Amino acid sequence: MRISRVVLAVALVLGTAFAPVHAQSIEEGVNNLLEDLFGGGNSRQKPPRPGNPADADGPRRVPASQGEIQLSFAPLVKRTAPAVVNVYAARIVQQRSSPFQGDPFFEHFFGRNFGGPAKPRMEQSLGSGVIVDPSGLIVTNNHVIGNADEIKVALSDGEEFESTVVLRDERSDLAVLRIDAGRQLDYIELDDSDAVETGDLVLAIGNPFGVGQTVTSGIVSALARTRIGVSDFGFFIQTDASINPGNSGGALIAMSGRLIGINSAIFSRSGGSNGIGFAIPSNMVRAVLDQVRGGADAFERPYLGAEFSAVTAEIAESLGMRRPVGAIVRSIDPGSPADRAGLSVGDVVLSVDRHTIEHPDAIFYRLATAGPGRTVTFALLSRGKRLALDIRLEKAPESVPANETTITGSNPLAGASVANISPRILNRMNIRFRGDGVIVTDIRRGSPAMKFGFRPGDILVKINGTNIREVGDVAATVEDGKRSWSFEVNRGGRLIRQYFRG
């Protein structure tokens, strides 16, 4: 496994109805937030001073004696470690015998066998996983299994099993595997990650550097970390418990013995632990598992139909807010749940279901963990008024059938899967687009489409000058068998024109 020497390293193992607006129904926590942002009164109770008996917070307290300092984590490790497994992923790649092999230019003049036949080579990766159900459901990171051809799971005692992929979600970097051990397995129950606090003691269990199962201890360093850059997911638990390559997919355990996170990434200059690790909260894991148990093979996020931006210091000042917090509505899709509920451009979302929103990423996390079919309450600052708005979350509509099709034949798109564009497919791919075209949903490894540089999420607008409006247009165009090809592709909002010779 290669360890990237960049500042941020991914540890590679590491019926909707209109809801009325009601200004008087904001919960006490939201009122406190609004008072903090805008001022108004001294009625809020001051926090107790350190050492005051009122400062006691349930079972949390500092050690009171030397004997307590000498307490051991061993009983907790014995109870949880058997549910943490090793995940071995392998795939076969064709190693080029020449650096020019596969280059369309050289293949045009010298043929496809230029440089000699490609040689197969086995690539392997090692990560960790957590058994979360006695029947054999295992949660790990999506980047651990990658595009593996074979995935094996080894229990803590060394017993190995072939596994199948039940669900994988690239956006959250989570994957669910299943093994059949023929018996009930040790597993770890999920805790409520919203109850976790900065300073809580935690254990990280995994297989760093392939040396074998390892336990490290630390504390929760921070919560709701965003803009980590390892995936589209933006709501991590940060910990100083040592996490290294091989820990990805492993367990972050609370002192209750329950799972509060799946270790996912590290912040490192060398590839090793610098004391800053990130874990996906267990509430996100629970949302994925709920859909798996409902028979889903892909994680479906609810559709809101709104885009948000961060509240800058300048925006906060113009709105009379003491500090920049929340997410401001940038656009609304006509007819969407947000539109029907009464959300407006310029509204500032301060909380969702009483959870403070510090950044737009937090909104999408709260919606994903709520799931389609739930009604959530937004606390807003709307045109100078403080309001609460109920919005029922829906599945994204499929305005036209996806008709997902894999392109075959002798053409640059061979091996690409394409689908008709609808809100559901765009929501699944996390793409914002309005207009005509067909979206690339997948690229088969080693296919011509991959060699020619097409990517999932690309939107085909024109092929050989023909406007593309549906999957049938793509199929008809590539059947022409031309020797030269031109493409217009929308990639991330940028129009790219490409020309190839067959």
The yes-or-no answer on residue 143 being catalytic is yes
Contact present, 492 and 432 (Cβ < 8 Å): no
The yes-or-no answer on residue 163 being catalytic is no
> What are the C-alpha distances in Å from 320 to residues 272, 313, 317?
44, 11, 5
Is the sign of the CA dihedral 237, 241, 244, 250 positive or negative? negative
| CB-based contacts of 298, cutoff 8 Å, min separation 6 | 167, 169, 428
Cα angle 237, 239, 243; round to 5: 110
Q: What's the one-letter identity of residue 281?
A: P
Residue 496 CA, chain-centre distance (Å), reads: 27
Q: Cα separation of 304 and 20, whole Å?
A: 17
| CB-based contacts of 500, cutoff 8 Å, min separation 6 | 104, 412, 452, 484, 485, 486, 487
Q: What is the full DSSP assignment across 302-315?
A: PB--EEEEE--HHH
Catalytic residue among 133, 169, 173, 361: 173
List alpha helices for 206-335, DSSP H.
Answer: 282-293, 313-318
Contact present, 437 and 490 (Cβ < 8 Å): yes
Three-state secondary structure call for residue 403: coil
Q: Which residue has the tokens 């899967």?
A: 417
The yes-or-no answer on residue 173 being catalytic is yes
Token output for 250: 């492993």
Q: Cα separation of 393 and 403, whole Å?
A: 25
Catalytic residue among 125, 128, 133, 143: 143
Catalytic residue among 172, 221, 248, 273: 248
Q: What's the one-letter identity of residue 357?
A: I
What are the catalytic residues?
143, 173, 248
